[in-house]
């Protein structure tokens, strides 16, 4: 008797949460091969992409996640399309294609903004700021980071300190 994709996914998620990335990848790959539903296959591709990235396999992450955002868009699932675009951006960043990563992060941010998903918007803008910083654009990165913090403010003392730090560049630029 062969395993069902849903059973493999449950086992893969458990392995991922326990930090057993290679087991999770193997199980997600098996489920992906067996799954026939396009939406579930795309979700498995997203899960594989995240798992590959976490295990340092950025080229595999990029290969598996390409096209999933478009598929989710065609299926009318805008939330998953935005998530897939963010995963594509992370894979592009990990492979060193910073200009393409920046474009994908911007697209994901626009989608999350349109969906009203402030937490995902904040996370995506913070990732975008890191890409801008890696491209030696610190002022643009500071502005993007500030927008990310405003979208989804960190909580507690750390959040208040970060807000104060983010106000510093704009105070320094005033005449």
In the chain, the N- to C-terminal Cα span, in Å, equals 74
What is the model's pLDDT at position 172?
46
Cβ distance 112 to 79 under 8 Å? no
What is the model's pLDDT at position 73?
96
Average pLDDT over residues 82-98: 97
Rounded Cα gap, residues 76 and 62, in angstroms: 23
84: CB partners within 8 A, 6+ apart: 42, 45, 46, 65, 68, 69, 71, 72
- pLDDT single digits (tens) 5-38: 999 999 999 999 999 999 999 999 999 999 999 9
- pLDDT single digits (tens) 117-142: 999 999 999 999 999 999 999 999 99
Q: What is the pTM of this model?
A: 0.86
What is the model's pLDDT at position 152?
80
What is the model's pLDDT at position 162?
53
Cβ distance 86 to 49 under 8 Å? no
What is the model's pLDDT at position 166?
52
What is the model's pLDDT at position 175?
39
Is domain 37-172 given the CATH code 1.10.10.10 in the classification? no
Rounded Cα gap, residues 153 and 8, in angstroms: 36
Given a cut of 90, is residue 169 above it in pLDDT? no
What is the model's pLDDT at position 157?
63
- According to DSSP H, which parts of 3-94 are helical? 5-17, 21-34, 38-54, 58-65, 68-74, 78-94
Q: Which is more confidently placed, 69 or 2?
A: 69
């Amino acid at each position: 008797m062969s395993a069902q994709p849903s059973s493999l996914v449950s086992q893969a998620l458990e392995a991922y949460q326990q930090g057993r990335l290679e087991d999770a990848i193997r199980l997600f790959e098996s489920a992906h091969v067996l799954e026939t539903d396009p939406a579930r296959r795309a979700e498995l591709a997203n899960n594989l992409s995240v798992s590959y990235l976490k295990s340092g396999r950025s080229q595999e992450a990029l290969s598996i996640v390409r096209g999933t955002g478009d598929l989710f868009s065609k299926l009318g699932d805008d939330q998953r399309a935005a998530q897939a675009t963010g995963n594509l951006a992370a894979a592009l960043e990990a492979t060193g294609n910073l200009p393409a990563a920046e474009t994908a992060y911007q697209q994901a941010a626009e989608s999350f903004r349109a969906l009203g998903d402030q937490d995902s918007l904040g996370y995506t803008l913070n990732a975008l700021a890191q890409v801008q910083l890696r491209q030696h654009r610190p002022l643009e990165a500071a502005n993007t980071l500030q927008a990310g913090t405003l979208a989804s403010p960190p909580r507690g003392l750390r959040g208040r300190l970060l807000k104060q730090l983010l106000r510093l560049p704009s105070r320094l630029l005033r005449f």
